[in-house]
Structure 1
Amino acid sequence: MLKDIAKRWNGQLGVEGISLDIPEGSFTALLGPSGCGKSTTLRLLAGLELADEGAILIDGKDVTTSAASDRNLSMVFQSYALFPHLSVAENVVFGLKVRRVPKQERQEKLHRALEITGLLGYENRKPGELSGGQRQRVALARAIVAGQRLCLMDEPLSNLDAKLRNSVRKDIKKLQRDLGITVIYVTHDQTEAMSMADIVVLMKDGHIQQVGTPNDLYSNPNNTFVAEFVGAPPMALIESSVLGGFGEDKTIGIRAENIQIVPKGEGRMSCIVNESEFLGAETLIGLDHEGSRGLCVLKPGLSMVAEGSEININFRDEHLHVFDAAGHRLVR
C-alpha cells in the first residue's frame, strides 16, 4: 500500500499524491508514457529510492525507510542483469548461495524454477548462448527461487522482439497465476497492460489519472488523456459544436467500433478519408473532419476506401462519452 507518496529531485517533481491499495495476489500494471513516474513509483516501492513524503506498507508493515533487502520482494528488470561468466543454474541460485541456503534446498528450488520457466536442460549454458526470451526466463526463474510473495517488474519485455514479447507475456501471466504471487508491472505498452493486468494504474506527469480494470479504463475513461491513451485505435474526440445538443465547450468521445459508414445524406457527420490501413482481420479507415481528432472507422476484412473520398458516418448517443472543458468525464 502507498499512502500520499511524493518524490522530487532538486525541486523537480517525480511523483506526487500517489496512493494505491494493491490486493494480494493481483497483477497490477503501472502504465503511462515515458517520464510519467511509473518507474519512480516502482523504485520507491522497492526501496531503491526513498520517498520525500507519505508512507509505504507491505503486508501491513511500514517499510517507508527500510532497505530494499528488508522489504521481502523480488525484482525483474528491463536488462536481464545476468552474470555472463556464470551458467543458467548458477545465475538462478546466486542469491540463495549468498544467503547460505543449504545445497539440497537450492537444488530443489532450482529444479522447480527451471521447470516452471521451461528451462530444464539449459542449466549449464551461459547467458551468451541463450536467446533474449530465454535470458528473460532466467531472470524470472531467479525471482521464483527467491520465494517472495511480491514481485516487481520494470519493463521486462522491452528488449524483446514482437513475437517473443507475446510469448513471454503469456509466460509471466501464467507464472503469476500458478504461483499466486502479487506482481506490480511497469510498462509503457498499453497492450501489455490491458492483456495481462487485473488492475491498471494509468499515470501522467507524476500523478495517477485512473485506477481500474482494463475494461474500466477502456469503457469509462476518467478524462480525455485516458480516452486517448487506452485503446488501439484511441478514442476519437470531437468538439461539441460539431455535433450540437451537448452545450458549449464540451468534448465528445467515440470509439471506432461504434462508428458506421452510411449512405450520403444519412449520417451525423460528413468526413474525408485520409488513409486506409489493412490490418488483416479488419481495415482501419482514418477520417478528417474539422473540430475532431483521431476519428476513424474499423471495417471487417479488406475494406479499403480511396484517400480523399467523402463518406458519411453515424453513431448512437449511448456510445458517446462527454468531457468538460478541462477534459474531465461528465456522467450522463
Structure 2
Amino acid sequence: MTDPFVHVESVEKRWNGQLGVEDISLSIPRGSFVALLGPSGCGKSTTLRLLAGLEVPDSGRIVIGGRDVTASPAAERGLSMVFQSYALFPHLDVAENVLFGLKVRRVPRAEQRKKLAEALDMTGLTGLEKRKPGQISGGQRQRVALARAIVAGHPLCLMDEPLSNLDAKLRHSVRRDIKKLQRDLGMTVIYVTHDQTEAMSMADMVVLMKEGRIEQAGKPAELYETPASTFVAGFVGSPPMAFMDAAILPAGLTSAGLDAVYGVRPEHLDLTQEGEGLLQAVITHCEYMGSETFISFDVPGTSGLTVRLPGEVRRSVGEAAGLTFDLSNLHAFDKNTGYKLSR
C-alpha cells in the first residue's frame, strides 16, 4: 500500500482543559474526497483548522505529502481553503479576487492570465470578470472562491461548510460543480459539513465525528449499511434508522442474554394488514414526496417507526396496520454503550 497523502496520527487539542478533539487518526489517499461530518461542536472544524495550520495540536502528528507539518504555519503547508463566508474582497472585481494570491506571490502576468482563463472557464464565470461580489449571486460568489482555490494550484483543498449560505436548489447545483472540479483536477479535498446529504453524495470517505472523536470512518455505503453505533445509525439516513427495545419484538427474534436495542432502516419496513406482521401500530403521519411515501407510527418501546414506500401510498392517519421486516435487516446494538453487536 502506498503512503497516504494526508496522515493524521493521534492528534489532540484542548482549550483550558476543555476537549476540542481527542485521538484523531486518519489516512487519506491522494486525489480522494473526504467529508468530516457531524453535529455542531463535534470537532470537525477544529480538525480542519489543525490540518490548515490555523491551530497547533497539543499532541500527535500531521503529515502532508510525506512532510511533517505539525508545527508548520499555514503558508508552508501547500494547501488552499474555501470558507463558508466566501472571504471575497468587496472592492475587488471577480478577476482580482481570483488572482489575489498569485499577485501576492508575484506570479508572472502571463501565467496569471492563463490560470485565470482556465479557472473561470471551469467554474462557469467567464464574462463576469469585471463584476464586484455585490453584483453577482451567492452561487457565483462561491464559484469565485472555488476559482481562487483552483488558480492556487495546490494539491490539497480544505473546505469549511462552503454551501451553508446557499438555498437548497443552489446547494445541489454547486455540490455537483465541486465534485466535478475535484475529479477533473485530481485534488485531494477535505470537506467539513453537518449535512449528511452533502457528505454521502460527494465523498469517497465519510468521517463521522462525535464529541471530539471519530465515531466511524469509511465509504458512505459502509456507514449506512453497517453503522458502528446507534449514533451513526441515527445520524446517517433520512429518515434515520428506527430503534426498538427487545421487549416489544416477538419471542425468538432477539438474541437471548444480550442487553440490546435493535434497529431497522425505513426502507426495510413494510406494511401488512391489521393483525398481521411482527408489530401492530396506528398510523400517525403520512407524507407523500412524489417518488415515495413516508408513513409514520408512534409505537411504545421504539424511537418512532417510519416506513419508506415507493410511489404514492394512500393510507389514513389513525388507521391500524401491521409492520413486518426481514430479520436479515435487523441491527443489534449494545443498550449501554450504543455500539454494534455481532449478529
TM-score normalised over the length of structure 1? 0.98
Q: 1:329 aligns with which of 322, 337, 340?
A: 340
Once the two structures are superposed, the pairs formed by residues 23-38 of structure 1 within 5 Å of their partners are 23-38=29-44
Q: Aligned equivalents of 1:212 and 1:111: distance in 2?
A: 37
Tell me which residue corresponds to 1:298. 308
User: What amino acid sits opposite 2:129 in the alignment?
Assistant: E
| 1:217 correspondence with 2:223 | yes
Tell me which residue corresponds to 2:325. 315
Tell me which residue corresponds to 1:158. 164
Cα shift at 1:91: 0.4
SS of equivalent residue, structure 2 residue 189 = strand
| 1:49 correspondence with 2:59 | no
Deviations along 1:260-280, one digit per CA (max 9) or x if unpaired, are 101222200001211111111
Q: Aligned equivalents of 1:138 and 1:75: distance in 2?
A: 12
Unaligned runs of 5+ in 1: none
User: What amino acid sits opposite 2:68 in the alignment?
Assistant: D
Deviations along 1:174-222, one digit per CA (max 9) or x if unpaired, are 0000000100000000000000000000001001000000000000000
SS of equivalent residue, structure 1 residue 285 = strand
Q: Aligned equivalents of 2:109 and 2:273: distance in 1?
A: 74
TM-score normalised over the length of structure 2? 0.95
User: What amino acid sits opposite 2:178 in the alignment?
Assistant: I
Deviations along 1:7-49, one digit per CA (max 9) or x if unpaired, are 1111110100000001110000000000000000000000001
Deviations along 1:113-133, one digit per CA (max 9) or x if unpaired, are 001001110111110000000
| 1:13 correspondence with 2:19 | yes
- How many residues align structurally? 332
User: What amino acid sits opposite 1:314 in the alignment?
Assistant: T
Cα shift at 1:60: 1.2
Q: Aligned equivalents of 1:304 and 1:252: distance in 2?
A: 28
Once the two structures are superposed, the pairs formed by residues 1-332 of structure 1 within 5 Å of their partners are 1-243=7-249, 244=251, 245-247=254-256, 248-325=258-335, 326-332=337-343
Q: Is the 8 A contact 1:234 1:294 kept in 2?
A: no
Cα shift at 1:308: 2.1
Cα shift at 1:331: 2.0
Unaligned runs of 5+ in 2: 1-6
Cα shift at 1:283: 1.0
- In terms of mean alpha carbon deviation, does 217-226 or 237-246 score higher? 237-246
Cα shift at 1:301: 2.1
Question: How big is the alpha-carbon RMSD for the aligned residues of Structure 1 and Structure 2?
Answer: 0.9
Q: Aligned equivalents of 1:63 and 1:328: distance in 2?
A: 34
User: What amino acid sits opposite 2:274 in the alignment?
Assistant: K
User: What amino acid sits opposite 2:120 in the alignment?
Assistant: L
Q: Aligned equivalents of 1:61 and 1:205: distance in 2?
A: 29
User: What amino acid sits opposite 1:330 in the alignment?
Assistant: L
Cα shift at 1:87: 0.7
